[in-house]
């Protein structure tokens, strides 16, 4: 058969546009990842200023979401993408919503933290929350790496780890509730800590959503609302 140089689009401009949105998506992901790292540091170090810094950057991720959304809409209107190009656009549009919400959750944590820091509230459970936070951070970083590499197999492994995160969150939250029952005077601060843990659990869920988007983008299969162990078995075992 005749050979074609078919690895690139006939339109190099379109090629560049797709590459561009992928890079911007990863930049946006990197930004959310760094916000999560910052809020965890602020928590461990009781650093209100750091929490303030994070809150001051809040609009950056929102703006990135708007810009990427507009760019995706423009590409759909002008290029009418199909197959893997279409799946890329869909995956980007879904993933930016998840990343934007990760940003919102870190801001929520920063606001809760500020209140706790001002009350000078001390608890051994900050360490536990940080532990959960590090797990979530590792999963989010891994999800963004899998997105950069378009690695669906890795994405499934990362999505599976969300089950561990959920279990740790349940355990931690159980402890916090026990403390609230034991010491009703401290319900408010413990509730705030519980909300922080909940925010981390939600970030874990968003990282899992990003993994599902990667699987859709690479394999073309929608695995949302499906048992992730079954997905792994179906696709890779």
Partner 1 sequence: MNEAVMNELVDPTMNARSNPETEDSLNIEYTDTVGQPLCEKAKIRTQNVNVFYADNQAIHNVSLDIGAHEVIALIGPSGCGKSTYLRTLNRMNDTIDICRVEGKILLDDENIYSKKQDPVLLRARVGMVFQKPNPFPKSIYDNVAYGPRIHGLTRNKSELDDLVEDSLIKAGLFAEVKDRLHAPGTGLSGGQQQRLCIARTIAVQPEVILMDEPASALDPIATAKIEELMNELKENFTIVIVTHSMQQAARVSQRTAYFHMGRLIEVGETDQIFTNPAHELTEKYITGRFG
CB of 33 to partner 1, least distance (A): 6
- Spell out, one character per residue from 147 to 176, where the chain touches partner 1: x when CB under 8 A holds, - when not: -xxx--------------------------
CB within 8 Å of 67: residues ≥ 6 apart = 24
Nearer to partner 1, 97 or 141 (CB): 141
Residue labelled with tokens 């423009």 = 74
Judged by CB under 8 A, the chain residues 74 through 133 that form the site for partner 1 are 80-87
Say if residues 184 and 172 touch (Cβ distance below 8 Å): no
DSSP 171-221: HHHHHHHHHHHH-GGGHHHHHHHHHHHHHHHHHHHHHHHHHHHHHHHHH--
Q: How far is the CB of 194 from partner 1 (least distance, A)?
A: 30
The C-alpha atoms of residue 73 and residue 61 are separated, in whole angstroms, by 18
CB 75 within 8 A of CB 18: yes
Rule CB under 8 A: choose which of 91, 132, 137, 144 binds partner 1. 144
Which listed residue (46, 57, 145, 173) binds partner 1 by CB under 8 A?
A: 145
12 binds partner 1 (CB under 8 A): no
Contact flag: residue 141 with partner 1 (CB under 8 A): yes
Point out which residues bind partner 1 (CB under 8 A): 1-11, 14, 19, 23, 26, 29-30, 33, 80-87, 141, 144-145, 148-150, 220-221
């Amino acid at each position: 058969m005749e050979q074609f140089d078919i690895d690139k689009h006939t339109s190099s401009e379109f090629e560049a546009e797709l590459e561009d949105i992928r890079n911007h998506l990863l930049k946006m992901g990197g930004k959310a990842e760094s916000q999560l790292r910052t809020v965890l540091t602020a928590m461990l170090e009781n650093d209100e200023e750091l929490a303030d810094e994070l809150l001051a950057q809040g609009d950056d991720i929102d703006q990135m979401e708007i810009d990427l959304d507009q760019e995706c809409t423009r590409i759909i209107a002008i290029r009418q993408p199909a197959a893997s190009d279409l799946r890329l656009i869909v995956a980007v549009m879904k993933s930016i919503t998840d990343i934007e919400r990760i940003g919102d959750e870190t801001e929520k944590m920063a606001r809760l933290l500020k209140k706790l820091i001002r009350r000078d509230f001390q608890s051994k459970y900050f360490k536990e929350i940080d532990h959960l936070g590090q797990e979530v951070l590792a999963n989010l970083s891994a999800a963004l790496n899998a997105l950069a590499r378009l690695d669906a197999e890795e994405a499934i492994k990362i999505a599976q780890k969300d089950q561990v995160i959920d279990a740790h969150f349940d355990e931690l939250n159980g402890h916090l509730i026990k403390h609230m029952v034991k010491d009703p005077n401290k319900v408010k601060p413990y509730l705030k800590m519980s909300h922080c843990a909940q925010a981390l659990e939600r970030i874990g869920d968003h990282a899992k959503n990003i993994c599902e988007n990667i699987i859709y983008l690479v394999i073309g299969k929608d695995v949302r609302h499906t048992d992730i162990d079954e997905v792994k078995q179906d696709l890779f075992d």
